[in-house]
Structure 1
């Protein structure tokens, strides 16, 4: 992702709120907070209305499923679109779609025509909008602030979401209880007007055409190739899946906990969700101290224990004041897990594939939430809400302990582009869409060095595949066993040129591990072959 022109300046000391000195970031951040407040108000109204329309736990859980399933299905295509379309125009389009959803809910609720089926269907369309918007919002942050402020800007985005989480549900519950669902949905429509106005005000610089821009299918394949070959990303996805699959039970059943077990109203349900947001804000403030004492694995284990303890405590239908305190703890555990897993995912993804990699993470996150919500709703319908919460709590602790051994990556590798590959020699210009391309790298390896060399090549093969190769191998010369050839296939000449710019400094270190076994004069010879 491209930074603004000033982003490459020398790093200077910055404060947590330094990004707000950038006018564009400040305006868009404020508009996003308002937009998220409106979205949380809409979600509160929908979650509560479905309990009026149906007493079935499955119907209640389906609202959560309808909101998260589209993100599971569309996060990866959305990540691709965020890389190949004008992000500002794309975001405006998505905001218009979301405003139309809330406007339709307003009309249906005002006329009394809203049904469970309409509510689930419109929630699903809203989920589609959220799926398209998520990766794009994350992708524009480096365009809005200098590089020195980037980490603080990402932290402010998380803070903004939790500010909205602490205000939106409570405000939505109060408006719903005082004025009805139509007014609540109307407030959400108004929030989108602020976001659209801010995006129209932002004059985003036109992107420079490098001649190597990706089309949708090519970018989609490149993202999937990277995901398949990244063992570090696999561990993050596994840990996220097992946590959110079990933790989703409390979110899916919270409306029923508030109404049936605690005897609360819509306003009280909003207060509970607001408490989660307030707990998350508190968690964001104490996270630096927690990181100083615990590594990423310890933080995820802590989040699992806190979340499970809250779920177990809710089983006893505590007094309302105590339930609010428990939801504060839930917000703390939730933000610890979210920021830890998301932060690790971002730290292991290079810039060129970050949007698509994060989209895969969002797919797993929302897929686990959607499947978990539906599954726990079905369980609750058979055995009741209290027993389901107990099962979710026990399961969460068990999987947290079992998967604690699948250590999360440290994210300390230098992923800046190395740009150390020389431009390939060509006799005449080559069309970018021509391919496939075979790249051969010829080494001379001593017999006694062969095992160590092949071990280094095994690690290097994953890097080749992450950066664009769809096939890879190592061969030896039949007449000269010390002559070893590494080869890999790339789908087009343009993709190979992109591969040149994708190699990171950490990848360069992997390549140097293999090259140090080469005993020939100079560097290993590189050859390029095109299909004819």
Structure 2
């Protein structure tokens, strides 16, 4: 059983910084959900088009698709606290502007969607950094429960915020809902201002922005565990996201609810998520991760299908409660898997890709399901989403998430200090050559081991990797191999040394031990001409 399942569900709250930040985030998220009700109710009053109503969800999540990876790169190379402060302050002013426009009766469907897009930009900048700071606030054994509490806080706000939003919209109007959201950002700004973050020591030159983005993409491309997590998230969110895009149309135009009842229906999603917080740690301790995910996927299928058939508010409320339970359970499990399977140097970029995956799925899904509903009807859209999720579940269940059942050792492997070559960190590209002499009897085992080495080198930033073998000579007991790969600069090569984990060290050691000397002979060559940028561009292409 992973250590994370043995600590109490509430243990992370004993850490003061974590408790303050998660409480402030709870207040801000309540404001966000109050605004969410106001936006959707305002749009439903402006138009009956399911497509236009669903575009509110698209506007909120589309920036995540395009900006989350860049935001993750920024969070890995800049001070995460300062980045979060800037993003939250920006969102405060956008929400205030939306409130002012509504008070002035200047709101149209186009203006509302535009303001949703602008708020989505702030959310895209916030989410990778926010997810990545959790390991800075908690010890490793409490990360899983910290992630669950972070998700629970979001879903407590989803239970309280919509109900409060429905009352505010019904009694005072959407403009006051937007004003409350603007004020709620002050809680997070204040908590971040008070947090005395201890930045990790950095004895290497900092990464450049575009280089950081490229390295992040390369990491995803060569990390199968992360690819599995992302595909699982996409398959789940694309279909379950129909709830957030079409629930306003279902509730207002088919169930004929008031704003207060609509808010309570949204609150049922949050209530289901909060209930999951209590039993999820115990279920994780007793059930294998992928079996647990299968159960929650099937529960989501049942909930979405029930929404398609529902003609009464109480049936919709029960279905939404079930969907809320699955939403927290699946995404909290996926989130924890990323925390435990990705090293700290690329964590925010990994969360950027994750955020981009589910945000893109929500944005594209909202437009898709809105179009389906406009052509075939709301109920047909929900029934199609339920059938699609069932099919997707059967497909992705074969992709196994292993990080929660076997936590890899991601602590940094600090190799011996690299000899000082007297090189500028920006000089490059650098060609690294490693020469091995392997007994003929171990030739095939060495080749197999080097396939794993290749994956690690490319995942950690190598641009091009090759393994060359000397032609066999009759009677020779040894065979010579040369491993070669390219780094974009000397500084980037030094960073690659520090990116290796203890788990990687075992992979390298397996290959190195086959050489009678215990280690390969290493050479570093610098590009001999000045046109380095063009060379890098060609290699990148």
Q: TM-score, normalised by structure 2?
A: 0.91
Aligned pairs (5 A) from 1:24-423: 24-147=17-140, 149-205=142-198, 208-410=201-403, 412-419=407-414, 421-423=415-417
* 1:157-197 alpha-carbon deviations (Å, 9 max, x no partner): 12211111111111111111111111111111111122222
Distance in 1 between the 2:376 and 2:234 partners?
24
Bigger drift between 268-277 and 284-293 goes to 284-293
Bigger drift between 93-102 and 69-78 goes to 93-102
Distance in 1 between the 2:511 and 2:204 partners?
32
Conservation of the 8 A alpha-carbon contact between 2:46 and 2:109: yes
Aligned to 1:504: 501
Distance 1:333 1:206, change over 3 A: closer
Bigger drift between 24-33 and 384-393 goes to 24-33
Distance in 1 between the 2:51 and 2:158 partners?
25
Distance in 1 between the 2:200 and 2:394 partners?
47
Conservation of the 8 A alpha-carbon contact between 1:261 and 1:317: no
Distance 1:130 1:236, change over 3 A: same
Distance in 2 between the 1:459 and 1:432 partners?
28
Distance in 1 between the 2:445 and 2:202 partners?
43
Q: C-alpha root-mean-square deviation of aligned residues, in Å? A: 2.0
Distance in 2 between the 1:476 and 1:312 partners?
58
Bigger drift between 438-447 and 53-62 goes to 438-447
How many residue pairs are counted as aligned between the two chains?
518
Aligned to 1:5: none
Distance in 2 between the 1:236 and 1:23 partners?
31
Distance in 1 between the 2:102 and 2:241 partners?
28
Aligned pairs (5 A) from 1:434-453: 434-453=427-446
Conservation of the 8 A alpha-carbon contact between 1:299 and 1:340: no
Please tell me whether residue 513 in structure 1 is matched to residue 513 in structure 2: no
Q: CA deviation at 1:381?
A: 0.4
* Secondary structure class of the residue paired with 2:241: helix
416, 424, 435: which one pairs with 2:418? 424
Aligned to 2:488: 491
* Secondary structure class of the residue paired with 1:441: strand
* 1:383-429 alpha-carbon deviations (Å, 9 max, x no partner): 0001111111011101101221122234522111122x323334x41
Distance 1:117 1:251, change over 3 A: same
* Secondary structure class of the residue paired with 1:443: strand
Distance in 1 between the 2:289 and 2:58 partners?
28
Unaligned runs of 5+ in 2: 529-541
Distance 1:482 1:219, change over 3 A: same
Distance in 2 between the 1:166 and 1:245 partners?
22
Aligned to 1:527: 523
